[in-house]
Amino acid sequence: MGDVSRPLILVSNDDGIRAPGLRVLAEVAAEFGEVLVCAPNEERSGFSHAISLRSSLRSERAPEFGERWYAVSGTPVDCVYLACLHLCERLPDLVLSGVNPGYNLGADVFYSGTVGAAREGLLRGSSSLAVSVQADAKPEVALPFVRQLVPRLLAEAKAGTRHLLNLNVPREGGTKGLRAARLGHRRYRDQVAEREDLAGRSYFWIGGPPAPISGDPDDESDTGLVGQGYAALTPLEIDITAPDLGDWAAWISSSSDPSAPQD
Ligand code: MN
């Protein structure tokens, strides 16, 4: 069941067990530890942090890809949950998610199954790294940065410090280097397309393509940095509460009290 003296690295994604980016990430993970791969049996991009509570899950070995590869009939989060609590003989030291073909920048982190799987890793107690590259880029362009980050994450996890990191790498491989970034503003050409089925009933496609990312040199957010050709590393936290709770206490006390007697 693997060498317990080496770190255990769980690899997952939202693009499914056959995705090229998953194999690339599993191969680089094997340079640093024992690897278990658990990924959705089909593509489940955009599944965010969805968990299957009202349907069962099937997990099947996928020996055509590797010895400890499992394909699960669920969401990315289902895969990490099942792997951490059942398939892995111990809690993974690190969860890697990706490599996703397409950036996960700004508010994408709320929709992304790639980030969802990584976030679930942190919730389960493991440091986690989500890895995405520019659409149409080879997943390999992210590998220099993954090789830079993984040993550091493993060393810090061993000392009890865990992180959730979101890495985005441009097509050129972030030749300018890696920069820390806040979430920026990802823009899409939002649209709803209404169609008609054979019975004459309406159905819809939602979600237009992303708008081009500008390379504004003053924009140091993740969107701005990848637009300038940097790779961007965004540290994420679970707690998304607004920073100043005091403002909200004042906001409540200055609002009318619904329990006060009405005239
Ligand atoms: Mn995806």
Q: How many CB atoms lie within 10 A of CB 132?
A: 28
CATH of residue 158's domain is: 3.40.1210.10
Number of domains the chain contains: 1
pLDDT digits (tens, 9 = 90+) for 1-24: 567 789 999 999 999 999 999 999
Classify residue 208: in a domain, yes or no. Answer: no
In the chain, where do the E strands start and end?
8-12, 34-40, 59-61, 69-72, 94-101, 127-133, 164-169, 178-180, 192-196, 202-206, 231-236
Classify residue 193: in a domain, yes or no. Answer: no
Which pLDDT score is estimated for 257? 73
Which pLDDT score is estimated for 214? 87
Classify residue 259: in a domain, yes or no. Answer: no
d(CA 98, ligand 1 centre) in Å: 8
104 marked ligand binding residue: no
Which pLDDT score is estimated for 4? 75
Classify residue 245: in a domain, yes or no. Answer: no
Which pLDDT score is estimated for 2? 63
Which pLDDT score is estimated for 263? 63
d(CA 162, ligand 1 centre) in Å: 24
d(CA 116, ligand 1 centre) in Å: 11
Classify residue 92: in a domain, yes or no. Answer: yes
Which pLDDT score is estimated for 175? 81
Which pLDDT score is estimated for 262? 64
Domain that holds residue 122: 8-183+214-236
52 marked ligand binding residue: no
Tokens of 44: 């489940």
Q: Is the peptide bond before 115 cis (omega within 30 degrees of 0)?
A: no
Please state, in angstroms and rounded to a whole number, the distance separating the CA atoms of residues 11 and 118.
9
CA 109 → CA 51, 58, 210, 245, distances in Å? 16, 27, 14, 23
Which pLDDT score is estimated for 232? 98
**Is 0.85 topped by the overall pTM?**
yes
Classify residue 54: in a domain, yes or no. Answer: yes
15 marked ligand binding residue: yes
Instruction: Specify whether the CB–CB gap between 89 and 105 falls below 8 A.
Output: no
d(CA 262, ligand 1 centre) in Å: 54
Mean pLDDT by 10 residues, the chain (263 residues): 84 98 98 98 97 98 97 98 97 98 98 98 98 97 98 97 98 90 95 97 95 90 96 97 92 84 66
Classify residue 244: in a domain, yes or no. Answer: no
Please state, in angstroms and rounded to a whole number, the distance separating the CA atoms of residues 184 and 48.
18
pLDDT digits (tens, 9 = 90+) for 38-58: 999 999 999 999 999 999 999
Classify residue 52: in a domain, yes or no. Answer: yes
